[in-house]
Structure 1
């Protein structure tokens, strides 16, 4: 008897779970045409082996089947799994990118802090309670004052939003500078707060009281700021990076 293929197993599991392709797409954020292709054992639309493995795991999780077994079968059929990428721990951040002289951001950072202090003072005097930040909520980017950037536009996205984040929390900003990269972010409760491709030129900012864990599909494309500190590139081109960040100085862990 011929053993069912990866796509057949996923398709049968989806039907057994009484889920449509659209419902699986909504759960996994994998596009409908890609799910159809995977169920037909056509992995060419996944964008490479790394993304194919991620799609298989995500779809398997949604239809309640063993994704690790299916990924192992995929690796057997496609030349084996890649060598495990070495995680980039926080305490090695200094080795990733040595400190170098950068433009003076003091003016923009002070302006952002003054605005935050003014808003807090207004809320206190008017009797309005300030709504607490949700765990791992996305922090909107702040815009530097025209006087701070008129002389020379910054080469990278402003870090003022990170610098003005509340103390006692971990604040993480990731920008895809040179290419697209797949990004997964989990908060301190283990909840996935972001899982998608981050397009070149795009950025995301996250905050949590205790901890943020990330997985990057292309470390060389991602520029990272943690708790107001510029850590530079997360890794090398094509490197899969796993990292955990906590409040305080990222160099101190």
Structure 2
């Protein structure tokens, strides 16, 4: 007969199961004395989505990017640190993909044209056409005036070509050229939607997606950080601290008065961001 530990003492101990994300958020909300409607009004996350998340159903969030954003917003509203919950969400779903840097995706591709050999045949044809056109124009304008052969009438175009710089009398006033814009991205291409944001105060969590659902950026930017995003059709944004951000869309500054700590879900397409 041996004296030792009982068989029950030899059983491996199992780690305590940590509470789910939804249960942690729900308990924190109840402890804070808040209702689901209160959370929805504060975060602008719809009531059905808040309820689903508290039951650990993230399918109504519309994808991992939005689910992380909802977790952060709800955690902030109930006074919790969102990062451990986001980390738990990623670990339970196989890890979080590394964010793709935004800037290299949208650098303009520069292609150096290959040198071409001169096309002398085309140049000779163009010269012959120019001479024939010039002779025809001279004969047409000088046919009614016997003394006008060999002379070209001087008009406003001729004076400008001569380089005198004198404005012809009686002619229409030339319109001034366009005044360059002071915007740093006024030259944004018209066939794309361009979003530029700069964090002016504190820091802010940013999420940006293209029209096809491709994630462009998901992370936290510090004060002074700037990011520029582009897409052919649409850019969807979630700003975790909208009041800290200066926003330009398609070369135009967005003048909405966002508040510090305010969460904003924004979507922009090509053209004037304030049209319609």
Pairwise TM-score range, normalised by the shorter structure: 0.3 to 0.5
The alignment's TM-score, normalised by the length of structure 2, stands at: 0.40
The alignment's TM-score, normalised by the length of structure 1, stands at: 0.43
Larger Rg belongs to: 2
